[in-house]
Amino acid sequence: MKITLTMLAGLLLLNPVGHVAAAADFYAGKTIEVVVPFKEGGGTDIWARVMAPYLQKHIAGNPKVIIRNVPGGESIHGVNQYMARAKADGLNLIATSATQAFHVFLGVKAVQYDFAKLKPLLVNPVGGAVYVAPSTAVKTAADLLKPKEKLVFAGMSPTSLDLVALLAFDVLGMDVKGVLGYEGRGPARLAFERGESNIDQQTTPAYSSTVAPLVKAGKAIPVFSFGQMNDAGELVRDQAFPDLPDVDEAYAILHKKKPAGAAWEAYKAFNAAAFAVQKILWVKQEAPSESVKAVLEAVDRMQKDADFLQKAEKALGGYPALRGDKLEAAIQKTYNLAPEARTYVLSLLEKKYNTVVK
């Protein structure tokens, strides 16, 4: 049948020619399956698909790396299924985003996964910044408390990644009306462009392609970045936005002192999961050590691969791909949210955004 031949030809022609596999390579002749608990075309899906060919190229033995999308159940189902069914043989990996971490933080009952049972292999930070419309007459972070018109933020669900923005506004003491319910960051950004909202946030890959042109045309004014949590537990400036103050600095500008208190602790906790370690590729803890070693070594090689760096720069916003083992302790710490932070956020959600998390 014509179709089979064409497709077979496609498969053969289009697969990269790998290095010759050494006899002892764990992954020689094998296939790695990466579960992506999101639909095709989403941010995590794109991240996994950018990484996959490079993993294939650099993991000793050149295993085939395929992506399997398991969307559903608010992106919880795929992870639940992975925890319950995936074998710990080093051939079954999963890619998650901060969304899954937030579900754990907020105590969503449907969560049946436990990140302590997973080992991180590859981590990608992401960055983000907040910008306003010229109509607000806000030129820098110093003006945020006295805008010319009421600040209106177009957001998705209050339990989505937008929660970090809401927490930032809360910490800074800004008066922002949240109009929530937009379908995604894209539609929310469109709302900004047509004047439905006048303050918005975007994360790195999207920011450079969709917001930077607006900034250049004078239609958007960046005011602060979310900042990145470093190993010492401090918030520092985001490398992608070197000229923007982070939330820490913005607070100091506005209130003339350093931030402290429940709102600040909550912000830092959620920020760490949402940015410093947003995208993580995991394997089960009990996976064979040779498989873990092989993937980690591949990450090292990827970091030196000029082709990958160039591609990642364009597709992912220029953050380095990091070895999971070096960040394992930090990740587990991040993912163990302090109960006070949880209480604070849940009460904020309930009082300000009419949301009760189930």
Partner 1 sequence: MWDSAGIALGKFLDPFHLAMLLFGVLEGVCVGLLPGMGGVASVAILLPFIYNLDPHTAMAVMVGALAVVHTSDTITAVLIGTPSSSASATTVLDGHPMARQGQAARALSAAFLSSLIGGFIGVLALTLSIPIARPLVLTFGSPELFMLCLLGLGFAAFLSGEAPLKGIVSAALGMLVGAVGVAPSVAHYRFTFGQLYLMDSLPLVCVALGIFGVAEVVDLLAGGGKIAERMDLGKGWLQGMKDVVENKWMLVRGSLIGVWTGILPGIGASAGSWMSYGHAVVVSKERDRFGKGDVRGIIAPEAANNAVEAGDLIPTLLFSVPGGPPSAILMGVLIVNGIQPGPRMITDHMDLLFTIIWSFALANILGAGICLFLCKPLAALTSIRFAYLAPAFLITMIFGAYQSTKHLGDLSVMIGLGLLGWGMKRMGWPRPPFLIAFVLSNPTERYLWISVNRYEWAWLMRPGVLVIMGLLVASLIYWALTRKREAQGKAEAAAAPPAWRFTPKAGFTLGMFLLLAAATVEALRFPFYAGLLPLTVAIPGTILAAWQLVLDLRNPEEKKGGLDLGTSAEAASREGTRRAFRYFAVILGYYALMCTVGFRPATLVFLVGFLRFLAGAGWLRTGIYTAIVFGVLQLLEYSLAVEMPEGFWSVGF
Site for partner 1 in 16-35 (CB under 8 A): 16
Q: How far is the CB of 69 from partner 1 (least distance, A)?
A: 8
Distance between CA atoms of 27 and 164, rounded to whole angstroms? 39
Work out whether 110 is an interface residue with partner 1 (CB under 8 A): yes
Q: Note the helical H segments in 173-271.
A: 185-193, 204-206, 212-216, 247-255, 262-271
Site for partner 1 in 211-240 (CB under 8 A): 213
Which window, 189-197, 227-235, 237-245, 332-340, contacts partner 1 (CB under 8 A)?
Answer: 189-197
Q: Which two tokens stand for residue 179?
A: 């109009």
Work out whether 296 is an interface residue with partner 1 (CB under 8 A): no
For partner 1, the closer of residues 181 and 233 by Cβ is: 181
For partner 1, the closer of residues 236 and 357 by Cβ is: 357
Distance between CA atoms of 32 and 55, rounded to whole angstroms? 10
Site for partner 1 in 333-352 (CB under 8 A): none
For partner 1, the closer of residues 138 and 154 by Cβ is: 154
Q: Which residues is 128 bridged to in the sheet?
A: 203
Count other C-beta atoms under 10 Å from residue 357's C-beta. Answer: 17
Site for partner 1 in 168-187 (CB under 8 A): 179-184, 186-187
Residue of 37, 120, 147, 158 interacting with partner 1 (CB under 8 A): 158
Residue of 32, 34, 36, 50 interacting with partner 1 (CB under 8 A): 50
Residue that has been written with the tokens 């009082």 in this structure: 351
Q: How far is the CB of 89 from partner 1 (least distance, A)?
A: 17
Residue 229: its H or E element:
strand 228-229
Distance between CA atoms of 262 and 266, rounded to whole angstroms? 6
Q: How far is the CB of 195 from partner 1 (least distance, A)?
A: 8
Distance between CA atoms of 321 and 315, rounded to whole angstroms? 12
